[in-house]
Structure 1
Amino acid sequence: MKYLSTLVLLVTLCYAKDEDESFLPEYIHPCTLADEEFEKCVRKQIVESLPHFANGIPEMSVPSIDPVDLNDIIIDGSGLKLKFSDAKMHGLSKLKLADFKIQLGVDNESFILAVKGNLSLTAQYNADGRILILPLKGEGDALIDCRNIEVNISSLLEHVKGKDGKEHLKLLTPNYEYEIESTTFDLKNLFNGNKQLAETTLKFANENWRQLMDDLAPPAVKQIVKTIVKAINKFLSKVTIPRIVIGYKERL
């Protein structure tokens, strides 16, 4: 009986291992590399899976990336000290694919992804100083809405041997660019609740939003890109290349 129990346990573990390696969410389907429509196929998979992917894939240990936890963001210069703490970026699950290109089976395999949509940042702020000619002072809740932000990520693809001993793809440290159409700020409790001063200052800040975003956007976008790439690499570490790319010849 002892030997029978051991045999059953080994079979169960092997079956579970095979199941884990072969698992793909129902909304992701492999694409055939030799097919002329390969890139179109991959693009379709990304469009269909983007909302699900942003919300996380627990079965593959891929975490949710909506919201994105940001590090403290500090603006200190030009007469203004502004700190955002406990900052979170919301809306990645609703971003749309703006552009996509992939090259596999060549010497320098690469990946380009562009997403576009509206994002919002919530945080606690602490401000003391001036925006150009107007004072800015207060602390409390902050809401920052970014309209039509587009983030373009490009990366080379590396081949790595996973914990399973098999070959996987991995995005290297990416390059990225971004554009923002407009931004509005809502800072509660400015000037200890002085409504008139607060409205005047916020109106001025929203008319001159680019000055604030020149300092605020880079660290926020950097963290967003880092989070997206980390989640993609987590997914890629769970699936072998032949599992998602039919007809791909492994290199390792």
Structure 2
Amino acid sequence: MIRPNIASGDYGPGRKAPGLDPYPIAQMKIDHGASFKCNLDDVVIEGVSKFEIKKIRQNIPEKGFNITVRLPTTFVHGKYDLNMNILLLQLTGKGPFNLTLENTLVNFKIRYFLEPKDGKEYFKFHPIDLRFKFDKAQFYLKNLFNGDPTLEQIGNQAINANPHILLEEVRPSMEAHLKKSLTAVANKVVENSTEQELLPP
């Protein structure tokens, strides 16, 4: 199974890549105008190596694969600085946060090409496209409204009444970070391999 390799980044002799579980994101800055501004720092995502493959479809004419995986439970934590409008509330705060995601689906669109080198054609990936489809989510943002206990509780309740509002704001930035890392890891894993070696007839 590839799960331990994803966590460790060790894919065999000469195939070492950064581990993806836990997956760190140093910083995400999201500015959608006056209604939503958020900075996330020191973010760590745990649980991605526990994926379950739901569907694989090979697309031979386009040299690629469409893959859907399920992440049973994913934990995300880090630091936030937030200013957003939700349910007639102006939420502001700065501090640590935790997020638990359950039953998340990730759809991958993977395309490859053959790179000529020294008389051979080597396997290489185009930038991997991916998209999250979130199901259950539970946020906890500490220190909302400067730590006022009552307002902090109200703020977290407002977020968790419809957590997808906040998730959809940060989703594109998360996807962009993961696309870059996964493409780099995938190309490291198949480095110096031909199509015949990886996809024999």
Match of 2:113 among 158, 163, 168: 158
Alpha-carbon distance between aligned partners in 1 of 2:166 and 2:8, rounded to the nearest angstrom:
30
Deviations 1:43-93 (A, max 9, x none): xxxxx2234234311641222112223341324435343221222222211
Q: Cα gap change, 1:192/1:178 in structure 2, threshold over 3 Å: closer, same or farther?
A: closer
Structure 2, gaps ≥5 residues long: none
SS of the counterpart of 1:237?
Answer: coil
Alpha-carbon distance between aligned partners in 1 of 2:84 and 2:194, rounded to the nearest angstrom:
53
Aligned to 1:121: 76
Alpha-carbon distance between aligned partners in 1 of 2:166 and 2:103, rounded to the nearest angstrom:
17
Check if 1:214 corresponds to 2:168: yes
Structure 1, gaps ≥5 residues long: 1-47
* Number of positions where the alignment pairs a residue of Structure 1 with one of Structure 2: 197
Aligned to 2:180: 226
Alpha-carbon distance between aligned partners in 2 of 1:157 and 1:86, rounded to the nearest angstrom:
32
Deviations 1:173-206 (A, max 9, x none): 3343331112211111222322111111101111
Q: Is the 8 A contact 2:113 2:125 kept in 1?
A: yes
Q: Is the 8 A contact 1:73 1:216 kept in 2?
A: no
CA RMSD of aligned residues (A): 2.4
TM-score (norm 2): 0.84
More strand by share: 2
> What fraction of aligned residue pairs are identical, expressed as a percent?
24
Q: Cα gap change, 1:78/1:149 in structure 2, threshold over 3 Å: closer, same or farther?
A: farther
Alpha-carbon distance between aligned partners in 2 of 1:165 and 1:188, rounded to the nearest angstrom:
58
Alpha-carbon distance between aligned partners in 1 of 2:161 and 2:47, rounded to the nearest angstrom:
24
Check if 1:73 corresponds to 2:29: yes
Q: Cα gap change, 1:198/1:228 in structure 2, threshold over 3 Å: closer, same or farther?
A: same
Aligned to 1:38: none
Alpha-carbon distance between aligned partners in 2 of 1:131 and 1:57, rounded to the nearest angstrom:
43
